[in-house]
Amino acid sequence: GAVVSQHPSWVICKSGTSVKIECRSLDFQATTMFWYRQFPKQSLMLMATSNEGSKATYEQGVEKDKFLINHASLTLSTLTVTSAHPEDSSFYICSARQGSTPQYFGPGTRLTVL
Amino acid sequence: GQQLNQSPQSMFIQEGEDVSMNCTSSSIFNTWLWYKQDPGEGPVLLIALYKAGELTSNGRLTAQFGITRKDSFLNISASIPSDVGIYFCAGRENYGQNFVFGPGTRLSVLP
């Protein structure tokens, strides 16, 4: 149980375009979802936390207009990287939990912006 | 805010050796989690600890919830090449709070 999926697993886009990444909890209701960013050989960097039906809470230094997060249902959250630039290239990982359970992570999405 | 430290930052060991790593916090926690991240993948939950002094195993992995409630330990016995990856600890002070993650311990296993 506690499976989280992400789609796509990798994406390449041109600079200036927007990219949407989906995160789904497959066998539980995710009351809270988290989005992380990870650079090569670096730790997890929390970008934002979202509760279903509420606006996301962004960490300091993360531009909310750049990284749009929508947690519209108990099984789906989306991260849209708007007007992507090469410096946005990274590994994006979502995580979800139901109530006070541990967080379960998705497999990650590798974004490359040309 | 809460800070988690993980030690060591990285380690290189020979296949077959045992591994020990730890995680310390500046706050008292009521839950500790240990995850492993394989290269190019998302972290996978290995062990969850909910009680001070608790010792829990998952195969060759054993984790302990420190009695001070400010630390946790992860041991891997008889390491194998597939143990390579980053091990993250996470903890929280109360059930309603979000987990705080450590910076990770990067493990390399030499054949």
Taking only the tens place, the pLDDT of each residue in A57-66 is: 999 999 999 9
Q: What is the pLDDT averaged over residues B14-23?
A: 97
Question: Which of B 2-61 lie inside 8 A of A, CB atoms?
Answer: 31, 33, 35, 40-45, 48
User: What is the structure's pLDDT at B3?
Assistant: 76
pLDDT band at A54 (very low <50, low <70, confident <90, very high): confident
CA distance B80 to A31: 37
Q: Which phi and psi angles does B104 have, rounded to 5°?
A: 95, 150
pLDDT band at B40 (very low <50, low <70, confident <90, very high): very high
User: What is the structure's pLDDT at A94?
Assistant: 98
Q: Are B8 and B86 in contact (CB under 8 A)?
A: no
pLDDT band at B1 (very low <50, low <70, confident <90, very high): low
Contacts of B95 in chain A (CB under 8 A): 100
Q: What is the pLDDT averaged over residues B44-57?
A: 97
Number of A to B CB contacts under 8 A, please give it: 47
Q: What is the pLDDT averaged over residues B75-100?
A: 94
Closest CA of chain A from B104, distance in Å:
6
Taking only the tens place, the pLDDT of each residue in A74-110 is: 999 999 999 999 999 999 999 999 998 999 999 999 9
CB atoms within 10 A of CB A82: 15
Taking only the tens place, the pLDDT of each residue in A4-23 is: 999 999 999 999 999 999 99
Taking only the tens place, the pLDDT of each residue in A27-42 is: 999 999 999 999 988 8
Based on DSSP, count helices (H) and strands (E) in chain A, helices before strands. Answer: 0, 11
User: What is the structure's pLDDT at B2?
Assistant: 62
Interface with chain B: mutation pick from A9, A38, A44, A46, highest number of B CBs within 10 Å: A44
Closest CA of chain A from B101, distance in Å:
8
pLDDT > 90 in chain A, percent: 88
**Chain-wide mean pLDDT for chain A?**
95
Q: Are B47 and B31 in contact (CB under 8 A)?
A: no
